[in-house]
Every structure is written in structure tokens, then in C-alpha cells.
């Protein structure tokens, strides 16, 4: 990576994965930083999409703790690993800027198993933590840093009020930190030069496939917010004709049917499908796969990833997974559908985190988008492949 003098701002969509701008990072006080981020309209890139400026403003008056979240517990996501591999300097820049603005008692970069350690840590506490699907959740991450198990805690005490070491804690995704660093260097107007009015900037996309060969270039790419899904597929070298549907947002996400590839990857564009850009996961489902079979495996995986703390999740998710498995066998009982409906209501909102809610979103989307295929199964046929391999 060449370190030149401070260069001109990147013009195209390649911002995060380009060469490091070089030079020290500008120092900004908290008020100016919040103002800048508000004008830029930067939202979190970790999945929830919360406005970053507001997260900063929410911190209590006391000395906070800053945590960079590079846990990447979602199996379909690779962007944070690639970001830390390609542009660790940007992530650390983001933490440096926050260190100056917030004067925290601690600054931590939390890495999951698949994320590489940055070569130069600049005095930041880098911690490799226990990895699991829920371990990257904000309160679970804080809980682990406090020396407890990597499981979520009751949300009625938000981490921005009491988190690591009992202090107000700011948790930001690694990509958000990198974006923040670029906004401070190049300004709000520059940030908004890509993307949409109400969803500006760029984001990293993890582009993956259900079978090898669907994509010429699987992996991580960067695109402007609002990019049409079709363009993402083209850049990945996929033949749209071979794509049955696209899973947006990982295992807690929703499906975009194969005929709707002109959907734009932005909040408003994806809302009709019950999806959000989330953490930029775009997973292609090939024409040959039985979507119900795939969904049953995913639901089983999600049930297995429950933290096993909260009764409705711990009991409801395996029940849902079992019901999905039965639905995935052709000749399924039609009463399985109202049963799934009932279970969805039972687990939604009844837990310390959104794991059951995300699972419900995925299941509901599956039943909606693949409605016709569900009917086929109920009538006793399935024209897709059901690979007889061990459940994931």
C-alpha cells in the first residue's frame, strides 16, 4: 500500500478498498464531528443502519469506551475481513478520530475468528474474541468484553448508557469507522456525491453463491447505495437467468425474487420485500435449488445459534426449524403453514435480542416469495434438487 501525501478524494465508488489516503488523520472535536456526520448522513454499516451522528450524541457525559466491531459472525459476510485485510488503516483512522473527539477510557477493536489483525495497532486494544452468530450483537460483544459469555443482555439498559466497564459505550462496525474516517478527510458533500439523497455513500457487498460457478467473481465489492441488484450481479459475473432468487441481508434477511433484479439496494428500494441493505450480504440462489430445502437448513442453523437464554427463542426456533423441515418434504401437511404463522407470533419480540425476529423475517420472506413453490410442495411435487447432504 503506497503512502503518499494527502491525495485528492476518490471520485468513483471505490473508496474503502482504494489505497490509503496517506498522512495523519484530521482531528475534530465532538461537536464538529457530530455536525459533520449529520450533514453527511452516514448510517451504520453493521446491519442496523442507525445514524452514526446520533449514536455519538447519545453518549452520556462520562468518559466512554469505544468499540470497533469486526466480529463478522454471519457466515455469508466477508466484508469486514476484506476491509481489515485491504484497508486496516482506514478502520484505525476512524478509531483515532473518535479517540480524539471522545477521550475514551478505552478503545477496543474486536475481531472475530475470520478477521485478520491489523499489522500496526497504534495503541488501540485489539482483542480476538469468541465467535458465534450472535457474538457480534452489540450487547453480546459488550458482555464478552466485560468478561462474561458472548450472549446478549437485556436491552432495557442500552450500552450507550452502561456498557464496557460500566461506562457509556459506542459500538461501531468496522466499515462504519472506515467511512467515518473518509468523511472527516473529504467532507460531507464528497460523501454524498455517491448514493441517494436519503441513503448516501457507498457500502461493501459480500457477494456469494449457493453453488460454485454462478459467479465469475464472488467476493467483496464496493458500490454506491441504491445500486440496482442487476448491476451487482453483472459486476460479479453472474448470468441473471441462472438466478432463482437473491437473499439480501444474510440469514436474518429477505429474498428478492429472480424477476425483480432491477430493485435498488437502498432502504426505500428494498422495503417492499421486507429487506434492508443490512450489512451488504447478497447471496445468489441457483435455479436448481429447492428454496424450501435451503430455508429449512438455514432455519435449523439459526435455531442452533440461539444463545439459549430466552425461553421463547430457545424453544420456538427449533420448533420452527422442525416445521420448516417438514414443509421442505413434498407432500407436506397444509396445516404446517398456520403452525409457522403461530410460531412466528410467539417468538417475535420475546427475547433479549433480535435473533428470533430475524429468523421470523427470513421464514416469512421465504413463504411469501416462494409461495408458488410452497403450493407445489403441498400438492406433493418439487421440481428442484434436494441434495442429500448432512444438515449444515
Partner 1 sequence: MSATLTTALWDLGRGSGVAALVAFTVSLVLGIVSRSGREALGLGRFGINEVHRTAALTGVGLVAVHLGSLLFDPYAQLRVVDLAFPFLGSYRPLWLGLGTLAVDLLAVITVVSLLRDKVGPRVFKAVHWATYALWPVALAHSLGTGTDAWTLWMDTIAAACVASVITAVTWRTSPSFASRGWTRAPRQVAR
Partner 2 sequence: MTTRLHVDWTRCDGHGSCVELLPELLVHDEWGFPLSRTGEPDAVVPRQLDDLARRAVSACPLQALRLRS
For residue 364, state whether it binds partner 2 (rule: CB under 8 A).
no
For residue 121, state whether it binds partner 1 (rule: CB under 8 A).
no
Question: Computed from CA positions of residues 389, 135, 218, 82, in that sequence, does the dihedral angle turn out positive or negative?
Answer: negative
Question: Computed from CA positions of residues 17, 21, 23, 24, in that sequence, does the dihedral angle turn out positive or negative?
Answer: negative
For 195, the grid coordinates are: 448514493
Site string for partner 2, 151-170 (x = CB under 8 A): xxxx-x--------------
Among 49, 75, 116, 312, binds partner 2 (CB under 8 A): 312
H or E element: which one contains 228? strand 227-228
Residue 149 binds which entry of partner 2, partner 1, none, CB below 5-8 Å type-dependent: partner 1
Only segment of 109-117, 169-177, 212-220, 305-313 that touches partner 1 (CB under 8 A): 305-313
Bridge partner list, 169: 65
Closest CA to 204 of 52, 77, 21, 51: 77
Contact status, residue 93 vs residue 172, Cβ threshold 8 Å? no
DSSP state of 171: E
For residue 148, state whether it binds partner 1 (rule: CB under 8 A).
yes
Site string for partner 2, 134-153 (x = CB under 8 A): -----------------xxx
Closest distance of CB 307 from partner 2, Å: 8
The sheet that has 125-128: what strands, in order across it? 125-128, 106-111, 65-70, 169-173
Residue 154 binds which entry of partner 1, partner 2, none, CB below 5-8 Å type-dependent: partner 2
Mapping DSSP to helix (H, G, I), strand (E, B) and coil, where does residue 107 land?
strand
For residue 322, state whether it binds partner 1 (rule: CB under 8 A).
no
- Nearer to partner 1 by Cβ, of 153 and 173: the residue is 153
Binding positions for partner 2, rule: CB under 8 A: 151-154, 156, 309-313, 315-316, 345-346, 349-352
Binding positions for partner 1, rule: CB under 8 A: 143, 148-149, 151, 153, 307-311, 314-315, 318
Amino acid at each position: 500500500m503506497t503512502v503518499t501525501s494527502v491525495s485528492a478524494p476518490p471520485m468513483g465508488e471505490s473508496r474503502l478498498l482504494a489505497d490509503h489516503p496517506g498522512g495523519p488523520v484530521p482531528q475534530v472535536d465532538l461537536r464538529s464531528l457530530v455536525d459533520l456526520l449529520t450533514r453527511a448522513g452516514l448510517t451504520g454499516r453493521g446491519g442496523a443502519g442507525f445514524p452514526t451522528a446520533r449514536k455519538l450524541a447519545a453518549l452520556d457525559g462520562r468518559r466512554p469506551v469505544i468499540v470497533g466491531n469486526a466480529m463478522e459472525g454471519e457466515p455469508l459476510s466477508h466484508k469486514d475481513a476484506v476491509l481489515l485485510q485491504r484497508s486496516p488503516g482506514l478502520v484505525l483512522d476512524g478509531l483515532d478520530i473518535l479517540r480524539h473527539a471522545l477521550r475514551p477510557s478505552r478503545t477496543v477493536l474486536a475481531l472475530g475468528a475470520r478477521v485478520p489483525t491489523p499489522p500496526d495497532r497504534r495503541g488501540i486494544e485489539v482483542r480476538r474474541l469468541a465467535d458465534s452468530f450472535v457474538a457480534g450483537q452489540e450487547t453480546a460483544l459488550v458482555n464478552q468484553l466485560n468478561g462474561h459469555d458472548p450472549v446478549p443482555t437485556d436491552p432495557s439498559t442500552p450500552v450507550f448508557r452502561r456498557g464496557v466497564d460500566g461506562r457509556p459505550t459506542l459500538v461501531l462496525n468496522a466499515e462504519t469507522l472506515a467511512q467515518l474516517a473518509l468523511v472527516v478527510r473529504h467532507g460531507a458533500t464528497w460523501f454524498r456525491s455517491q448514493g441517494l439523497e436519503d441513503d448516501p455513500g457507498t457500502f461493501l457487498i459480500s457477494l456469494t453463491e449457493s453453488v460454485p460457478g454462478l459467479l465469475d467473481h464472488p467476493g467483496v465489492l464496493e458500490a454506491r447505495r441504491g445500486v440496482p441488484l442487476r448491476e451487482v450481479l453483472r459486476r460479479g459475473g453472474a448470468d441473471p437467468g441462472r438466478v432463482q432468487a437473491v437473499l439480501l441481508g444474510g440469514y436474518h434477511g429477505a429474498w428478492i425474487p429472480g424477476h425483480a433484479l432491477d430493485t435498488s439496494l437502498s432502504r426505500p428500494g428494498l422495503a417492499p420485500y421486507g429487506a434492508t441493505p443490512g450489512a451488504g450480504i447478497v447471496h445468489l440462489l441457483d435455479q436448481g435449488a429447492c428454496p424450501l430445502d435451503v430455508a429449512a437448513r438455514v432455519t435449523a442453523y439459526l435455531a442452533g445459534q440461539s444463545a439459549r437464554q430466552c425461553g421463547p427463542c430457545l424453544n420456538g426456533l427449533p420448533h420452527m426449524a422442525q416445521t420448516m423441515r417438514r414443509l421442505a418434504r413434498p407432500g407436506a401437511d397444509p396445516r404446517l403453514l398456520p403452525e409457522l404463522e403461530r410460531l412466528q407470533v410467539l417468538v417475535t419480540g420475546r427475547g433479549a435480542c433480535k435473533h428470533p425476529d430475524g429468523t421470523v423475517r427470513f421464514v416469512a420472506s421465504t413463504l411469501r416469495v416462494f409461495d408458488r413453490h410452497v403450493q407445489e410442495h403441498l400438492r406433493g411435487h418439487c421440481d428442484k434438487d434436494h441434495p442429500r447432504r448432512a444438515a449444515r
